Structure 1
Amino acid sequence: MQSIKKYTCISLISCTLILSGCQTAPVFDEQTNKVNVTKVKPTPPEEELIEPVVEEKTLSKAQHLFEQPNLYLVNNPPVADEIKDRFAQVVTLIKRDELTRAKTILEEMTLQSPMLSGLWLKLGDIARMKREQSLAQQHYSRAISLNSNNYFARNRLAAIYRQQGEFELSKEQYTKALMSWPGFVEGHRNLGILLDLYLGQKEQALEHYQIAQELLTLNNKKVDRKLKGWIRDLTRQLAKTEKVK
């Protein structure tokens, strides 16, 4: 009898979840250093039909940022084909999780071309994959010192600072990354997460989420459903706060 009640209860819970249409919100996982999604209280059906309206000034800003040059690409020095080929090999090895071999090749390349920022970026990625955060931080900093417009390195370094609880340093790196390429979608997305979850600057966070979404559209990329959900959730949060005032 208890078994029947148990399965009946599970069935009812499952049906409730399906019918309620649970929404998601960003949550940072310190173990994996990634932002995951978690279920939050479902919104009443009548509110689910209302899509947040993006202000015209935000759309105009996104369009303006989209048209700005990528300084990392514009100012990058020419690279020999041989180096490009070896770098492509490293990228493939990293994807296959052959980190030791990839690291060996990169270290050889840094002896030949120590001024190439991208080599230190990849060494940082390997160190981070091995959970050697301090070493990764050193490599990313080296990459930035060689090319201040390496927004990839700044984006990664910002994530490390965020994990360390150095939120202002993290914000500084995300901001500088966006100065090098204002149309950097991940930069806006990550800065939005930092402002939303860690600094409590909800209005600024919403703007960066919306800009990221609009930049995806301008780049003919598919809709990021997680990002869309965060925008909807944060819009409601701010609306409720305004009502309380």
Structure 2
Amino acid sequence: MAMVSINTLRPIGIACIVFMSGCASMGQLPVTDSASAPEQQKSSTSAVNNEASAVSKLDVDRNQSGFLPHQEYTPEGNKITYQPSPNPYLKQNIQIPEAARKAFQEADRKMQKGEYRNARIAFRAITREFPSLSGPWVKLGLIADIREDKAKAEKAFKKAIEINPLNINAYISLALHQRRKGDFDGAHDSYMAVLNVWKDCPDAHLNLAILYDLYLNKPELAQPHYEAYDFLIGGKSQEVKDWLAEIRRRTGIEKSFIDNPPQRPVAESGGVSSETEAKPETEEKG
């Protein structure tokens, strides 16, 4: 997943929200829609003072470890390829009526052309005719967000979650909405709800890291989730690696939260070689 300016990701996220109560996605999850993360990282670095966050390594482990992926090893010390858990939202086998599919596609075309009033009317009609589908409610929330109707947006996202508690897109859209209006506690809870549903959701880890780092000034809590995102995407983003290096300089925590190789056997000389300070090597992930 290429890391680009987050502003450019918003329309992609809007276009890819799934329209059904739970089946195959029409695209990837939305990531974030704030200013570009690299620019935010620079500004946040200058804003964080030396006394910033007093969260200990123990607190980080206690609060985050249950939601993080972990690199496992064979008894011989070789890495075992990590198999991310599947997105439960996409595993649902729900038959979508062809009429609903066509109506959604037409409403979505209106939305992409900026015809928000007509799109809203069309999506509302779908919710009345097919009340078991959660996706149209996500779209209605996104349209309300665009029209800056915060109350309607939040109500629509929560309605989507009520209809389908596995709708990952709805949780992330709700969290982004809450973060934009300054409800950081609500955004945090929504991202954690995603990880409760699907702990290996890369975008939830990335967005939660950004929330902790740039909005809550808790880099120690952000670091594990930046690392989780890097791990889950296979270490393919140099930009994310740069973010990790930068945040490690601020926190002073060099030990990986994801990849902690076992100690090597005692050498014949009687010494012990330890790899406990090794950084994650996600580029070797299969």
Fold-level similarity (TM above 0.5): yes
1:44-63 mapped onto 2 (5 Å cutoff):
60=71
- Which residue among 174, 183, 190 is the counterpart of 1:157? 174
Which amino acid in 2 is paired with 1:169?
G
Spell out the pairing of 1:8-47 with structure 2 (5 A cutoff). Answer: 34-36=34-36, 37-38=38-39, 39=42
Aligned to 1:97: 114
Q: Kindly tell me: are residues 229 and 117 of structure 1, through their superposed partners in 2, closer, same or farther at Cα, counting changes over 3 Å? A: same
Q: Distance between the aligned counterparts of 1:34 and 1:130, measured in 2?
A: 17
TM-score of the superposed pair, with normalisation by structure 2: 0.59
TM-score (normalizing by structure 1) = 0.68
Map 1:92-171; keep pairs closer than 5 Å: 92-171=109-188
Q: Secondary structure at the match of 1:217?
A: coil
* Kept after mapping to 1: 8 A contact 2:223/2:248: yes
CA apart distance, 1:202: 1.8
Is 1:223 aligned to residue 240 of structure 2?
A: no
Which whole-Å CA distance do the structure 2 matches of 1:165 and 1:58 have between them? 29
More helix by share: 1
Aligned with 1:238 (options 233, 240, 251): 251
Distance 1:74 1:199, change over 3 A: same
Task: Provide closer, same or farther for how the CA distance between residues 240 and 177 of structure 1 changes in structure 2, counting only shifts above 3 A.
Answer: closer
- How far residue 224 of structure 1 moved from its aligned partner, in angstroms, is 6.3
Separation in 1 of the partners of 2:179 and 2:228? Answer: 21
What residue is the counterpart of 1:211 in the other structure? Answer: 228
Q: Which moved more, 1:83-92 or 1:104-113?
A: 83-92
Alpha-carbon separation, structure 1, partners of 2:69 and 2:94: 34
1:205 maps to amino acid: A
Query: Could you tell me how far apart the structure 1 residues matched to 2:108 and 2:247 are?
Result: 37
| CA shift for structure 1 position 34 | 1.1
CA distance in structure 2 between the partners assigned to 1:216 and 1:192 by the alignment? 15
In structure 2, how many angstroms separate the alpha carbons of the residues matched to 1:81 and 1:179? Answer: 32
Shift of 1:124: 0.5
Distance 1:179 1:101 in 2: 36
Mapping of 1:74-85 within 5 angstroms?
A: 74-75=91-92, 77-85=94-102
Task: Please give the alpha-carbon distance, in whole angstroms, between the structure 1 residues aligned to 2:150 and 2:208.
Answer: 20
Report the Cα distance in structure 1 between the residues aligned to 2:33 and 2:149, rounded to whole angstroms: 13
Q: Corresponding residue for 1:175?
A: 192
Q: Distance in 1 between matches of 2:69 and 2:84?
A: 14
Cα root mean square deviation, aligned: 3.0
Question: Which structure 2 residue ranges, 5 or more long, are not aligned?
Answer: 1-5, 7-31, 47-67, 73-80, 255-286
Q: For residue 212 of structure 2, what is the aligned residue in structure 1? A: 195
Structure 1 unaligned spans of 5+: 1-25, 27-31, 43-56
Kept in 2, the 8 Å contact 1:189–1:208? The answer is: yes
Counterpart code for 1:88? Q
Post-superposition offset of 1:33: 6.2
